[in-house]
Structure 1
């Protein structure tokens, strides 16, 4: 029997939980009774996220743990998952969400190498480090197993202009997702990916005023409520381990994605 079948509290790690999609997903899980380790660079914003969870819901709130974590630093990631083990005993879900877009509007020939490295270290290396630590814990715990959900973004499918670092890392996350899915089969570790388009967060605020399109024009784009993303992640997370959403695309209905470019 695994945790979701015994009625025990399920536990999750959410990276990038101090704002945006990570904050919304963490709050959704807490309100659903999950215990959640909120990981991010600033403890104060993580504590703000935890404080948003109480809303009068009849479901008992899960416990929260705020852990200052730079996902690109192996020692920070090791400390995060050690703390999860000590405080919660097991791990049922990793939502691999921490990420950065990098400098906006910079042509490929002008992108500084340091900026490239920062995006790769955060989006790709950080996702690998967290997935590796989660995989190790899920494999070793009893009962064995768990789920990893990677935030791929729709840039894992198609690029925007001047987004080479972000787009490259998000395409690489699809390979990470597939490899984790395959390697996790013997250990009841499921892995899926959610590709998100134009959820209303600070990162997408510029969509409302106008963003560069493939034809060179600036055009406002519609956005969707970030809570719709959070509910989708929760649905993926709460499936039995015998079922998996391998890839899901959730986007503002009228955004120029289908036919982009």
Structure 2
């Protein structure tokens, strides 16, 4: 349980869902974790739970829409521990009114891009000076929304597609500094926070289309992030890894043929 022993890790958006799982697994593997987000009370509680379990964690305020708070997070963490080894850009926002191209307003488009793409860019830019001396691992949390077109969520999908490309640029530009950068695209991940809001119909649609027998859990993403943050993944960089139960690996007609008990037309 020491795959990340003494590594200094920042996990943005770690006051709920996937972010909590990543922070907890990192601490269990020996990392020193900075939990961060806007909700101080929740963040302090997550850090406290990690410490009570024997891990090392502190909370630091960060607002994805406030570049100064992101820069302060990186600076304060580096000053406190002398380095930043892992940065997980998990924080993101999705506008509830994000729909078709005609429906999305310019204000909504800018808000989503400012949080998801600009926020990731600012976090990486602020962390790089503290990683360049000794290397590190940057893990951007993308989305399977960037895998193909959809009926809504236009701004969110486009912003996450931008995260994919930013990942490749970072990997290329800073690989010579022993800085790796990979992107993890979660599929449907059911968390304690979102489960009450996910209709059973949606769960069934996913189960009909994925290759395995259950939808995703936060630890499915966290376990991959442990690997990507560890030295085991040194030779992996610039990769876009989709963790979706195999949803995007097959023909879109698979679910229909399954319901017909048929393998072909």
**TM-score normalised by structure 1 residue count:** 0.84
Structure 1 residue 241: Cα displacement: 6.4
Segments of 5+ residues of structure 2 without an aligned counterpart are 208-214, 254-265
Structure 1 residue 240: Cα displacement: 4.4
Structure 1 residue 247: Cα displacement: 2.6
- Counterpart position of 2:140: 150
Calculate the aligned-residue CA RMSD, in Å.
Answer: 2.6
On the 8 A contact 2:18/2:222 being kept in 1, the answer is yes
- SS in structure 2 opposite 1:243? coil
2:43 to 40, 46, 56: 46
Cα distance in 1 for partners of 2:140, 2:197 equals 24
1:169 matched to 2:166:
no
1:180 matched to 2:177:
no
CA offset digits 1:24-72 (Å, max 9, x no partner): 101111121110111111111112222332575xxx52x2121111123
- Counterpart position of 2:260: none
1:237 to 224, 229, 239: 229
- SS in structure 2 opposite 1:108? coil
- Counterpart position of 1:11: 8
Which range moves more in the overlay, 127-136 or 198-207? 198-207
CA offset digits 1:194-251 (Å, max 9, x no partner): 111011123465444334xxxxxx9643422211211111011113463225232212
- SS in structure 2 opposite 1:156? helix
Q: Which one has the bigger helix percentage? A: 2
Q: How does 1:88-237 map to 2 (within 5 A)?
A: 88-104=81-97, 106-139=99-132, 141=133, 144-201=134-191, 202-203=193-194, 206-211=197-202, 220-222=205-207, 223-237=215-229
Cα distance in 2 for partners of 1:205, 1:257 equals 28
Structure 1 residue 256: Cα displacement: 7.1
Cα distance in 2 for partners of 1:92, 1:105 equals 35
- SS in structure 2 opposite 1:110? coil
Runs of 4+ with >2 A deviation: 51-56, 104-108, 201-211, 218-223, 239-242, 255-261
> How many residues are treated as equivalent by the alignment?
243
On the 8 A contact 2:98/2:154 being kept in 1, the answer is no
Question: Structure 2 vs 1, CA of residues 115 and 55 (structure 1 numbering), >3 Å: closer, same or farther?
Answer: same
